[in-house]
Amino acid sequence: MVFEYHPESDMLYIKLIDAPSTESEEIAPGVVLDFDVANHVVGVEIEDASKLIDLSRLELRALPVTNLVLSERALATA
């Protein structure tokens, strides 16, 4: 599972599995689910994320995580 925040568009994307999205459905204003060919949810897109979610904090509870990777997006230089 990958959480990726795009500050330029204020969009948070949660990639649940590594599969291509073939269809999307907005389930609430600004919340879009992406589905694969078998109609399984592969990702969640949240628009205007910073207005809806506290992006400064992430807490993991009771997850069987064996590989935790923290990375920071490199800022583009002009």
CA nearest to 47, candidates 3, 15, 14, 9: 9
Question: What global pTM score does this model have?
Answer: 0.82
Cβ-proximal residues to 77 (8 Å cutoff; 6+ apart), any chain: none
**pLDDT score for 71:** 82
- Each residue of 15-38: pLDDT tens digit? 999 999 999 999 999 999 999 999
